[in-house]
Amino acid sequence: MFTGIIESLGKIHQIEQENTNLHLWIGCGFTHELKIDQSVAHNGICLTVVEINDNLYKVTAIEETRNKTSINYWKVGDVVNLERGLKLGDRLDGHLVQGHVDQIGKCIHISNQKGSWKFTFQHDFTTNNTTIEKGSITVNGVSLTVVNSNLNEFSVAIIPYTYEHTTFQNLKVGDMVNLEFDVFGKYIAKLYHNKS
């Protein structure tokens, strides 16, 4: 489990393909604290540390992960949001995040609000994933509050601190992002659709 509060930015140093798997070597400020078999969220994708070599660590994305996330779009030199797993007893400053990406979304609009930024994302509503205004959403691993909610799109407001300390500063219109919808909302939606 995670909280959606980003600890650090990581840089992708190497990408290797082996059959349908992708192996990624990443460097960040807490690499020296990592242990083999530890879970780290990378732009919202929970991946397991499988190897550590000096200031870099390696994670592997299998075909299922590649099919459900934006990881196929990543390139050497890209920067990703990182968060280590939640410790029991820690403050929950974001919301409960599983690190299981529900689907990919697309950034369709960015607006400078003179003190904050408004980002709008489009997603496939036929998957029964939904947002509500003032509800929680995770975009590339960042816990956010929904500002506007429509059938197949939603907007979030980004404060300067979040903009400066996450990959939102690099996000452009047309970029693909990982979306994890609120876990409680998903259960409620599933119950509702099962009764319909």
Same domain, 69 and 149: no
From 30, 57, 84, give the residue that closes a domain: 84
Same domain, 111 and 185: yes
Which residue segment(s) compose the domain that 45 sits in?
A: 8-84
Q: What is the pLDDT of residues 140-156, one digit of tens each?
A: 999 999 999 998 999 99
Reported pTM: 0.92
Identity of the residue numbered 53 = N
Q: What is the pLDDT of residues 77-133, one digit of tens each?
A: 999 999 999 877 777 777 778 899 999 999 999 999 999 999 999 999 888 788 989
Quick one: pLDDT at residue 186?
64
Question: Does residue 31 belong to any structural domain of this protein?
Answer: yes
**Residue 181's closest CA among 135, 138, 132, 140?**
138
Same domain, 155 and 107: yes
CA dist 132 → 25, 110, 143, 145, 155 (Å): 37, 20, 14, 9, 10
Question: Does residue 96 belong to any structural domain of this protein?
Answer: no
How many folded domains does the chain comprise? 2
From 19, 52, 84, give the residue that closes a domain: 84
Identity of the residue numbered 122 = Q
From 29, 52, 84, give the residue that closes a domain: 84
Tokens of 47: 């991946």
